[in-house]
């Protein structure tokens, strides 16, 4: 019988991580590499720093600078991963954006830009990756949801809608792809100290109100997602499918 820790190892696995140049995506890409996976780091920004850190770990890492809302992007991303590693075992849909404005003033442009990246691109890239995964009879699709997959929020109508859709799409993929050996789950980060929350943390009153509600008493950091993403990418989670795991310091428990 193998040691339970062996089931968390990702030796020989090939992963795609979007939004991997910094923040949550970079932390998750590094975690997968530390667990043994080779990584294609995809971002609209230069992911050279992520690549350098992963290669220092002795793993392969290729980068792709791409706008995931471009029509050709999903096929391009998957084709590069297959060219580099011969397969796709893990997809982490992390790339996303947020726009803030009152509901009554929210623009169609801000609606479309958020929805196109946060859910349409997630669907299309997951579809493209799954078409490769089914050939091997296995795969792990991990999408990044949000506290606003569970709650309404304020001043972020397209973000809330897109992240609620991520949860729904994750369930759908589990239902359709589970019989084909593919697990689809999501991670819902709590309030994380990233570029997306700079405005909230700069507002002293709002920052304190948020901290007062988090049982852990602090903002999350990108490193807080590393254990969860490795678990969901590994054989240790083979019977977990269609679920969205909140990594939130206890926020939803309040």
Active site residues: 159
Taking phi over 0 as left and psi of -120 to 50 as alpha, with beta for the rest, 122 belongs to alpha
Residue 249: what are its φ and ψ, rounded to 5°?
Answer: 65, 10
């Amino acid at each position: 019988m193998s040691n339970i820790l062996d089931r968390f190892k990702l030796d020989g696995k090939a992963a795609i991580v979007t939004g991997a140049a910094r923040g949550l995506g970079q932390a998750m890409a590094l975690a997968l590499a530390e667990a043994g996976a080779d990584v294609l780091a995809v971002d609209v920004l230069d992911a050279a720093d992520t690549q350098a850190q992963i290669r220092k770990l002795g793993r392969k890492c290729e980068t792709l600078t791409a706008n995931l809302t471009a029509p050709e992007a999903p096929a391009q991303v998957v084709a590069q991963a297959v060219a580099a590693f011969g397969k796709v075992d893990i997809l982490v849909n992390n790339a996303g954006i947020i726009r803030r404005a009152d509901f009554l003033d929210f623009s169609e442009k801000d609606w479309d830009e958020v929805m196109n990246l946060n859910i349409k691109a997630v669907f299309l890239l997951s579809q493209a990756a799954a078409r490769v995964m089914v050939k091997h009879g296995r795969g792990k699709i991990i999408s990044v949801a949000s506290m606003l997959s569970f709650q309404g929020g304020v001043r972020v109508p397209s973000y809330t809608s897109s992240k609620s859709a991520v949860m729904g799409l994750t369930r759908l993929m589990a239902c359709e792809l589970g019989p084909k050996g593919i697990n689809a789950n999501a991670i819902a980060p709590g309030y994380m100290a990233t570029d997306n929350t700079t405005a909230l943390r700069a507002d002293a009153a709002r920052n304190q109100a948020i901290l007062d509600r988090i049982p852990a008493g602090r903002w999350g950091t990108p490193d807080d997602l590393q254990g969860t993403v490795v678990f969901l990418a590994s054989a240790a989670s083979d019977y977990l499918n269609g679920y969205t795991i909140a990594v939130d310091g206890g926020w939803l428990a309040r």
